[in-house]
Amino acid sequence: MKPKMTLKKIARELDVSISTVSKALKDNKDVSKETRETVQAFAKLYNYRPNSIALSLKNQRTKTIGLIIPEITHHFFAKVMTGVEQTANDRGYTVVIGVSNESFAKEVINMEMMVNGSVDGFMVSIAKETLLKRDYHHLKEIISQGMPIVLFDRVVEEVDCDKVMVNDRESARMATQKLIDGGRRKILLLTTLDYLGIGRERTKGYLEALDSNAITINEDLILKMPDNITIERQERVIGQHIKNLIASDIHFDAIFAVNEMYAVAALNISRKLGLKVPDDLSIISFSNGILSKYARPKLTTVNQYGLQLGASVATMLIDRLEEKVDEDTFYTKIVKTNLIERESTI
Amino acid sequence: MKPKMTLKKIARELDVSISTVSKALKDNKDVSKETRETVQAFAKLYNYRPNSIALSLKNQRTKTIGLIIPEITHHFFAKVMTGVEQTANDRGYTVVIGVSNESFAKEVINMEMMVNGSVDGFMVSIAKETLLKRDYHHLKEIISQGMPIVLFDRVVEEVDCDKVMVNDRESARMATQKLIDGGRRKILLLTTLDYLGIGRERTKGYLEALDSNAITINEDLILKMPDNITIERQERVIGQHIKNLIASDIHFDAIFAVNEMYAVAALNISRKLGLKVPDDLSIISFSNGILSKYARPKLTTVNQYGLQLGASVATMLIDRLEEKVDEDTFYTKIVKTNLIERESTI
DNA sequence: GTGAAAGCGCTAACAA
DNA sequence: TTGTTAGCGCTTTCAC
């Protein structure tokens, strides 16, 4: 077992001072060529690596950034993480990840664990529960201590900081328009309850599209799904709603779902009921994940570019940390989406 | 903007010494009740939090552990991460995650970034490329410096350390046996190339099951999929193989797939070819992820308990860090799987 | 060309 | 009861 090398040990071993070693390792011309070479050779031999904790303490910056996400097992967030990781690493930063699991308490605790020096700044996508409570004091607190935060995806007006978001409303409008362009006018919307900003914005986009095409809104064609339910329950709710629609003779010829799970659940039940996709029924889903690609027919989706979003978020935070950006203005970046047309639309 | 509080500032403000403040905050009886209360009140008011970097430097331990995984966008690893996060947080540890993206270089770099003091130990699932090269010097190096590593899932004999793994071979054997018990004897195996230990072990389990039931092995019924290919290519390869089988009049009445993607790809093509699952064809898949639940029929799967595995991994590492475990013996833990029977088997 | 010393924030042994 | 000091590993200024 090789013991961990430190400047001190090298200095003692080579019988020079610590500062000489430090300089020699930086190839500082103050130090004679010979000394430099000896020290460097010795350091290499014993695999010396500067202790990053000591450096952090000295420099008052850790070169690590904290990423707070609501969920890992979620394709979009996984993509975002990957994007963040990549650009952070490229710029010499480490990422520590905290998962709030959609809980306010866990979000707060996670951030508290990191805020005391172990992290230079945060990237956070706010937990559902936090959104519900509308309690953002932990975020504001951290900002007021001078630590930068970049909010992404689940963004909120009340907090004054940099933001990166998907233009959910506009994307939803475009997706709905696509369905309308395909001749569909009775579009079933599968969305979340309104307190989740994302679902609300997508719902707005849907409504806008109907409106600008002079299509009357039919409340029966809007299903707001409850939160935190099992897959089975989700499928049952969607299935029941669709069956009711059919039983009540309320026609629909397209579905716009705010996530893949709703879309596939609807697809499965539709097939069971003998509806042909896309002939009888077009489907577009938000979130271009794995489910869309393995569904049959493959789903047309709104691609959220999680990777790019992650990259943007990390870039924004690091730029601010490295003061490459005007100190007293906050920026909001909108990451574009695009529609990936597959087999569930015509 | 509230400035960050330190012992020093509190001391100066309250006109006492730093050590008095430090003791007072720990409620040390050395310090008079009054002083303690004043200090504590002041600290609370200004929201003092000890700087964790300073603590790390002082204690020579960071209370953070590094998790190195090959992929984030992978249900199993996401589950493992969640498990690790949870138990680590419960025990007061932070997790930093490095994603190797299946690349040897990224694995090495990631670990090097963390090894210099920012982490007390590692949990790693080895990248495919590393497995291919069989180059484990980075792992051995770290271990020889006295830093503990727990290997999980992608485990390797050559490295001497704690390990947590799924008993892939036995699980595959049981899954295959399940198919045989259902009366199937011509079982198509969809697996990976052998250099990936996981695929190899699962293949062995499959072979064992056939063997112990006196079923002759038919090489045509073993498809070893190449690595790193697109979903489309994957589906094409599987589709082509199945079509060839049918064209050559080679019968099969069941499929055992070592992951969900292969299973669903096979399911999709089978449906297209008019095969009824599970009547004509039973399917069992490894990896109980989202695809299995949304597929129709829902897939019977080998559930890997990623969450528990993650918890075990974190526990094992932290126990070793806190010396709750015999210092010079390494342990290997096998995490059980179970078969979740859904609609793709009878 | 080399080294001593201060300081980053904290703890703990020791001194007063 | 309170304060001084050394030390964790490193950088950097300044003195020799």
Residue B228: per-residue pLDDT? 83
Mean pLDDT of chain B: 94
Give the least confident one: A191-200, A236-245, B13-22, B105-114.
A191-200
Residue B272: per-residue pLDDT? 94
As a rounded value in angstroms, the CA-to-C1' distance for A17 and D15 is 15
Q: Say whether pLDDT at A155 is over 90.
A: yes
Q: Are residues A222 and A291 in the same domain?
A: yes
Residue A299: per-residue pLDDT? 98
What average pLDDT does range A118-122 have in this prediction? Answer: 95
Interatomic CA distance for residues A219 and A241, integer angstroms: 12
Q: Are residues B173 and B300 in the same domain?
A: yes
What average pLDDT does range B255-275 have in this prediction? Answer: 96
Q: Say whether pLDDT at B73 is over 90.
A: no
Q: Are residues B298 and B312 in the same domain?
A: no
A188 falls within a domain: yes
Percent of chain B at pLDDT above 70?
100
Kindly indicate the confidence band of residue A21, based on its pLDDT and cuts at 50, 70 and 90.
Answer: very high
Q: Measured between CA atoms, how close is B60 to chain A, in angstroms?
A: 9
B117 falls within a domain: yes
Residue B2: per-residue pLDDT? 73
Kindly indicate the confidence band of residue B197, based on its pLDDT and cuts at 50, 70 and 90.
Answer: confident
What average pLDDT does range A224-238 have in this prediction? Answer: 93
Closest residue in B to A234 (Cα) is: B294
Range(s) of the domain holding residue A234: 168-304
Mean pLDDT of chain A: 94
Interatomic CA distance for residues A125 and A304, integer angstroms: 15
Q: Are residues A192 and A317 in the same domain?
A: no
A311 falls within a domain: yes
Q: Are residues A329 and A276 in the same domain?
A: no
Using the CB atom, is residue A123 less than 7 Å from strand D? no
Interatomic CA distance for residues B49 and B64, integer angstroms: 18
Q: Say whether pLDDT at B196 is over 80.
A: no
A55 falls within a domain: no
Residue B54: per-residue pLDDT? 95
Residue B219: per-residue pLDDT? 96
- Mapped onto helix, strand or coil, the DSSP state of residue A94 is strand
Residue nearest to nucleotide C13 (CA to C1'): B19
What average pLDDT does range B256-285 have in this prediction? Answer: 96
Assign 3-class secondary structure to chain B: CCCCCCHHHHHHHHCCCHHHHHHHHCCCCCCCHHHHHHHHHHHHHCCCCCCHHHHHHHHCCCCEEEEEECCCCCHHHHHHHHHHHHHHHHCCCEEEEEECCCCHHHHHHHHHHHHCCCCCCEEECCCHHHHHHCCCHHHHHHHHCCCCEEEECCCCCCCCCEEEEECHHHHHHHHHHHHHHCCCCCEEEEEECCCCHHHHHHHHHHHHHHHHCCCCCCHHHEEEECCCCCHHHHHHHHHHHHHHHHHCCCCCCEEEECCHHHHHHHHHHHHHCCCCCCCCCEEEEECCCHHHHHCCCCCEEEECCHHHHHHHHHHHHHHHHCCCCCCCCCCEEEECCEEECCCCCC
Q: Are residues B172 and B70 in the same domain?
A: no
Element (H, E) at A162: strand A162-166
Which nt is closest to the CA of A26, judged by C1'? D11
Q: Are residues A95 and A154 in the same domain?
A: yes
Residue B209: per-residue pLDDT? 97
Question: In chain B, how many domains are there?
Answer: 3
Q: Which residues of chain A make contact with B231, given a CB cutoff of 8 A?
A: 293-294
Q: Measured between CA atoms, how close is A142 to chain B, in angstroms?
A: 9
For the segment B99-114, what is each residue's pLDDT rounded down to a tens digit?
999 999 999 999 998 9
A33 falls within a domain: yes
Residue A239: per-residue pLDDT? 96
Residue A227: per-residue pLDDT? 85
Dihedral (Cα; B252, B255, B258, B263), 10-degree rounding: 120
Percent of chain A at pLDDT above 90?
92
Q: Are residues B12 and B140 in the same domain?
A: no
For the segment B154-181, what is each residue's pLDDT rounded down to a tens digit?
999 999 999 999 999 999 999 999 999 9
Put simply, the answer to whether A118 touches B64 (Cβ < 8 Å) is yes
Kindly indicate the confidence band of residue A197, based on its pLDDT and cuts at 50, 70 and 90.
Answer: confident
Residue nearest to nucleotide C3 (CA to C1'): A17
For the segment A39-59, what is each residue's pLDDT rounded down to a tens digit?
999 999 998 999 999 999 999
Q: Say whether pLDDT at A2 is over 80.
A: no
How far is CA B268 from its chain centroid? 28
Q: Are residues A239 and A201 in the same domain?
A: yes
Q: Tell me, what CATH number does B278's domain have? A: 3.40.50.2300
As a rounded value in angstroms, the CA-to-C1' distance for B161 and C11 is 33
Q: Are residues B32 and B93 in the same domain?
A: no
Residue A194: per-residue pLDDT? 82
B56 falls within a domain: no
Using the CB atom, is residue A334 less than 7 Å from strand D? no
Closest residue in B to A297 (Cα) is: B268
Nucleotides in D strand less than 7 A from protein CB: 1-5, 7-14
- Residue ranges in chain A assigned as alpha helix (H): 7-14, 18-25, 33-45, 52-59, 75-90, 104-115, 128-133, 137-144, 168-181, 197-212, 231-247, 260-272, 290-294, 306-321
Task: Check if the beta carbon of residue B64 is closer than 8 Å to that of residue B119.
Answer: yes
Task: Check if the beta carbon of residue B259 is closer than 8 Å to that of residue B302.
Answer: no
For the segment A56-113, what is each residue's pLDDT rounded down to a tens digit?
999 999 999 999 999 988 889 999 999 999 999 999 999 999 999 999 999 999 999 8
Q: Are residues B178 and B284 in the same domain?
A: yes
Q: Say whether pLDDT at B227 is over 90.
A: no
B282 falls within a domain: yes
What average pLDDT does range A200-226 have in this prediction? Answer: 96
What's the token pair of residue B309? Answer: 């595995």
What's the token pair of residue A112? Answer: 């508290």
B342 falls within a domain: no
Residue B163: per-residue pLDDT? 98
Q: Are residues A101 and A197 in the same domain?
A: no
Q: Say whether pLDDT at B330 is over 80.
A: yes
For the segment B3-54, what is each residue's pLDDT rounded down to a tens digit?
789 999 999 999 999 999 999 999 998 899 999 999 999 999 998 999 999 9
Residue B93: per-residue pLDDT? 93
